[in-house]
Structure 1
Amino acid sequence: MANSILIIGESGAGKTTSIRTLDPKTTFIIDCDRKGLSFRGWKKMYNTANKNYIATSNLETIWGYLKRISYQDMTHIKTVIIDTLNGIMVDDEFRRMHEKSFDKWQDLAASVYGLVTDIHELRDDLTIVCTAHAQTDRDDNGYMFTHMKTSGRKLDKIVVESKFTTVLLAKADNGKYVFETHANHSTAKSPMDCFAESEIPNDLKYVIETLDKYENE
């Protein structure tokens, strides 16, 4: 069973930047937003020539690469980044914008549900990191709660975060970038006693190494 991590956060909160500490030789990036990465020198580290980067939001293509990485000719890859789930959802929605049928919303929910559910079935030593935009809701009493932003009520009912044991909330405050590891008016969560602190460095290498150590102790 592959390890899976979900990172949510507002635009500019450091979701993509956290990739900077990973080893490009064993990391593959699926850029679903097709906007490139957000740290200096990324184009030299991740590109098609290095066979560790592709820009696509097409689920069939994404699954093709995931299967190659897990079972076929790319088993040297240890970490896959899917950045972002929203890019998949929004692009699919706009591709089908002229469809009036309610079925398209069911199909959209099913495709994303299938992705976040089935990535767990990939090989054991693989870590899949999905990123997504966050949404903060406020009720009439002023209570605020942050969760993953989705397209349509079907996905809200599914609760995408429930498919991950680790959900980190990326936060930026006065130039300081961190991950929130435990629920604080949000869907952030992590395995019991894995992270001692409620906020940790914005560093995916540290996150993955800490989770691996926790699982293997």
Structure 2
Amino acid sequence: MATVTLILGKSGSGKSTAIRNLDPGSTALIQIIKKPLPFKDAKAWKAFVTDDWSKIIGASRKTQRKVIVIDDFQYMLANEFMRRSEEKGFDKFSDIGRHTWDVFDALLKLPDDVRVYILSHTEETDAGQIKMKTIGKMLDDKITLEGMVTIVLRALVQDRQHLFSTRNNGSDTTKAPMGMFDDELIDNDLAAVDAAICEYYDLAQPVAA
């Protein structure tokens, strides 16, 4: 089973910037929306761009790289919803929910030494909980996406610094295994996060291609 980690945060909270120190030669980047990466020297990154759930699964299974980053995941759901917005009834919500579950299920079934980072937006529920942004209550009633993974980090900005929160504050879905991260707040650096995960689970980090 692969280690799938959610990186959740508002737009501008530093999610995409967090990949800056990963090695583009040994990282597979899937962009749901094609857009420039928000850091210098990003030309080395060659992204596979698709919002098709089946192609995301196919690309993740095909790559030989041990680190996979899926950026702007929430738009996989939103784009399908918008394309089908004129459809009557609730079938589209069921389909979007199934497609989302299929992606998570396929990613989790990748080899044990694979690490997947899903970068996605957050939303606040009526009860004030901050969670992964989805498409309505019908999906949320059937699937708790955060519950399918062991690590959920929340991207935030504090004192003009972009950070990851590693501990639950009682009103969000942040979580990490006991002892994986010493600090409640860490730099928004996925290379450092990946190193911590590899050390914790005794996984070999990829060598640059």
TM-score, normalization: structure 1? 0.88
- The equivalent of 1:84 in structure 2 is 72
- Are positions 1:59 and 2:45 aligned together? no
RMSD: 1.4
Aligned AA (1:210): A
- The equivalent of 1:202 in structure 2 is 188
- The equivalent of 1:72 in structure 2 is none
Aligned partner (choices 192, 198, 205) of residue 212 of structure 1: 198
Aligned AA (2:135): S
Compute the displacement of 1:116 (Å). 1.3
Q: Residues of 2 paired with 1:195 and 1:26: CA distance?
A: 24
| Maintained 8 Å contact 2:94/2:139 | no
Compute the displacement of 1:138 (Å). 5.8
- 2:20 alignment partner, SS class: helix
| Maintained 8 Å contact 2:73/2:120 | yes
CA displacement 1:81-133 (0-9 Å, x = unmatched):
11122110011111111211311110001110111122111112211110110
Q: Residues of 2 paired with 1:138 and 1:98: CA distance?
A: 26
- The equivalent of 1:166 in structure 2 is 151
Compute the displacement of 1:175 (Å). 1.8
Q: Residues of 2 paired with 1:196 and 1:83: CA distance?
A: 26
Aligned AA (2:3): N
- 1:186 alignment partner, SS class: coil
- The equivalent of 2:28 in structure 1 is 28
- The equivalent of 1:3 in structure 2 is 3
Identical-residue share of aligned pairs (%) = 32
- 1:21 alignment partner, SS class: coil
- Shift in alpha-carbon separation, 1:190–1:24, aligned structure 2, 3 A: same
TM-score, normalization: structure 2? 0.91
- 2:75 alignment partner, SS class: helix
Aligned partner (choices 179, 185, 189) of residue 193 of structure 1: 179
Q: Residues of 1 paired with 2:136 and 2:129: CA distance?
A: 18
- The equivalent of 2:45 in structure 1 is 46
Q: Residues of 1 paired with 2:58 and 2:106: CA distance?
A: 13
Q: How many residues align?
A: 201
Aligned AA (1:64): G
- The equivalent of 2:139 in structure 1 is 155
| Maintained 8 Å contact 2:165/2:186 | yes
Aligned AA (2:45): Y
CA displacement 1:6-34 (0-9 Å, x = unmatched):
00000000011000010011011111022
- 1:35 alignment partner, SS class: coil
Listed as ranges, the gaps of 5+ residues in structure 2 are 204-209
Q: Residues of 2 paired with 1:101 and 1:129: CA distance?
A: 33
- Are positions 1:134 and 2:128 aligned together? no
Aligned AA (2:161): K
